[in-house]
Amino acid sequence: MSVEFFKGIGKIPFEGPASKNSLAFRFYDANRKVMGKTLQDHLRPAVAYWHAFASPGADMFGPGTFERPWFDPAGDPIKMAELKMDAAFEFFVKLGVPFFCFHDRDIAPEGNTLAESNGYVDRMSERAMKKMEETGVKLLWGTANLFSHPRYMSGASTNPDPAVFAYAAAQVKHCLEVTQRMGGGSYVLWGGREGYDTLLNTDLKREYDQMGRFMNLVVEHKHKIGFKGQILIEPKPCEPTKHQYDFDTANVLAFLQKYGLQHEIKVNLEANHATLAGHSFQHEVAFAVANGILGSIDMNRGDVMLGWDTDQFPNDVGEITLIMLELLRGGGFTTGGFNFDAKIRRQSIDPADLFHAHIGGMDTMARGLINAAAIIEDGTLQKFVDERYAGWNAGLGADVLARKESLESLAKRVKDENINPKPRSGRQEYLENLINRFV
């Protein structure tokens, strides 16, 4: 039997908006129904194993500050991994979160050979599956860490050395199969070092072709083993590389189309990656929805005054309301969900801080979703937009979209019909006020 790590903290209750209990939910009532579905089924929240349990609280200017027993440098790596897993599941259960996500290297140590590493992953994943069965916690998605080990310093699939490509392929094969065994809803690829630090030593065309080949291999293997989950690419513009090929959703979409993958792979978006790419989080979600490739979301927030991935927990109800609006418009998640790719601050060294962070994040998402549903049910916003574009549903607009017009015919119409359009107010401030009625 495992030792309790989060002592003094029990199951986090839902206590409603008036609660002053900092260890209770105020909005996340898992079973509350909104637009016909429970909050839990809408949000499908997941804890990220890496930030919550594998990260020691280090930054580029100092080592870890989190004193967790499983970081004992003198400890046996497998024992430490087990201790960490015990604490993780204790946390999942106490928090009442239905999902978690992991990298292969989060749950198991690196071995001397890939075979040895794979063995560790197998062993730890079996342990995890037992705990999943006991607790009901599920796997949202799995992923292979193809960026930490020095062998990947110049990329995985885009490495100038094909031996690294092969190694990465073998590692992904194993992790994909483990994810399948664990019932993961998706499999994610984040190309952390699929990019460049300098164009001087880089053959861009070759590297894209390598990456195109790699992604096709993954998709082929998925079909071969019958994995029903969704393959996802996670866009990020940079960091650790100067430029990452999966810069933003549109960059990924260009890549997918070029290599014939647009019906096979979707995106796993992240708030902080959106803003690093110069987009609002809302933009990336709306763009992915508009192109039918929204798969899952890594929920966090960045500090827009800072130029790196701060991975903070979401706390801006106004912003999250807009995200939920786009999500609901897109039909919501199927295999995806909201994974907290968010870390507590380096100064948040107490185990309780992990709870505060996740409770705040889940409450923020719940409020956002409730707000968004209210906006949709109210209907004023959608009505405004529909009326704004109404001209495209018939007459001239419909003719254009139905390919009945040419530049020539349109020029003729402009002349014959004296077309001289008058601008109409975009009503941005009115709409912003409208949204604030629900926030």
Considering only residues 189-218, where is the footprint of a second copy by CB under 8 A?
192-193, 197-206, 208-210, 213, 217-218
Q: Cβ 425 to a second copy, closest distance in Å?
A: 4
Q: Which of 99, 100, 287, 340 binds a second copy (CB under 8 A)?
A: 287
**Residue 327 near residue 285 (C-beta atoms within 8 A):** yes
Residue 77 touches a second copy, criterion: CB under 8 A: no
Query: Is residue 353 close enough to count as binding a second copy by CB under 8 A?
Result: yes
Is 106 part of the annotated catalytic residue set?
yes
Closer residue to a second copy (CB): 36 or 150: 150
Alpha helix stretches (DSSP H) within 6-160: 39-43, 49, 77-95, 104-107, 114-135
- Tokens of residue 96, six digits: 């009442």
Q: Is 376 in the site for a second copy (CB under 8 A)?
A: no
User: Residues 42, 51, 104, 106: which is the catalytic one?
Assistant: 106
**Using CB under 8 A, which residues numbered 410 to 429 contact a second copy?**
410-411, 413-415, 418-429
249 burial type by CB count under 10 A (0-12 exposed, 13-18 middle, 19+ buried): buried
Q: Is 243 a residue that touches a second copy (CB under 8 A)?
A: yes
Closest CA to 277 of 249, 319, 257, 318: 249
Contacts of 179 by beta carbon, 8 Å cutoff, 6+ apart: 139, 141, 142, 143, 187, 227, 229
Under rule CB under 8 A, residue 3 binds a second copy: no
Tokens of 169: 């392929």
Task: Please select the residue that binds a second copy; options are 32, 240, 332, 376, rule is CB under 8 A.
Answer: 240
Spatial contact of 346 and 377, defined as CB atoms under 8 Å apart? no
Q: Which is nearer to a second copy, 95 or 169 (CB)?
A: 169
Burial class (CB in 10 A: 0-12, 13-18, 19+), 118: buried
Q: Which is nearer to a second copy, 41 or 400 (CB)?
A: 400
Residue from 32, 37, 123, 173 touching a second copy (CB under 8 A): that is 173
CA-to-CA distance for 180 and 195, rounded, in angstroms?
28
CA pair distance 271, 273, nearest whole angstrom: 5
Residues 128-157 touching a second copy, rule: CB under 8 A, are 147-154
CB of 299 to a second copy, least distance (A): 14
Q: Does 119 bind a second copy (CB under 8 A)?
A: no
Q: Which of 32, 37, 181, 346 binds a second copy (CB under 8 A)?
A: 346
Using CB under 8 A, which residues numbered 17 to 56 contact a second copy? 20, 22, 26
Query: Cα–Cα distance between 237 and 269 in angstroms, integer?
Result: 12
Q: How large is the angle between the packed helices 317-329 and 428-436, nearest 10 degrees?
A: 100
CB of 142 to a second copy, least distance (A): 15
Question: Is residue 248 annotated as part of the catalytic site, yes or no?
Answer: no
By CB under 8 A, which span of 92-100, 121-129, 272-280, 333-341 interacts with a second copy? 272-280
Q: How far is the CB of 107 from a second copy (least distance, A)?
A: 18
Q: What is each CA distance from 373 to 32, 33, 34, 137, 138, in whole angstroms?
A: 13, 11, 7, 27, 26
Out of 8, 10, 63, 331, name the contact with a second copy by CB under 8 A: 63
CB contact at 8 A, 337 and 269: no
- Exactly one of 315, 377, 379, 383 binds a second copy (CB under 8 A); that residue is 315
Q: Quick one: how far is CA 239 from the chain centroid?
A: 16
Please identify which of the residues 42, 51, 103, 273 carries the catalytic annotation.
103
Instruction: Decide if residue 260 touches a second copy (CB under 8 A).
Output: no
Which positions from 388 through 407 interact with a second copy, judged by CB under 8 A? 388-389, 391-392, 395-397, 400-401, 403, 405-407
Q: Which is nearer to a second copy, 332 or 397 (CB)?
A: 397
The alpha helices in 136-182, defined as continuous H runs, are 162-181
Measure the CA–CA gap between 30 and 39, rounded to whole angstroms: 5
For a second copy, the closer CB: 24 or 37: 24
Residue closer to a second copy, measured from CB, 127 or 246 = 246
Return the closest-CA partner of residue 196 out of 186, 205, 187, 188. 205
CB 29 within 8 A of CB 38: no
Query: Using the rule CB under 8 A, is 181 a contact of a second copy?
Result: no
Question: Closer to a second copy at the Cβ: 4 or 432?
Answer: 432
Name the segment binding a second copy (CB under 8 A); options: 77-85, 93-101, 264-272, 316-324.
316-324
CA dist., res. 248 & res. 270, Å (int): 10
Q: Should residue 103 be labelled a site residue for a second copy when binding is judged by CB under 8 A?
A: no
| Interface with a second copy (CB under 8 A), residue from 2, 13, 114, 130 | 114
Would you name the residues annotated as active-site residues?
Answer: 103, 106
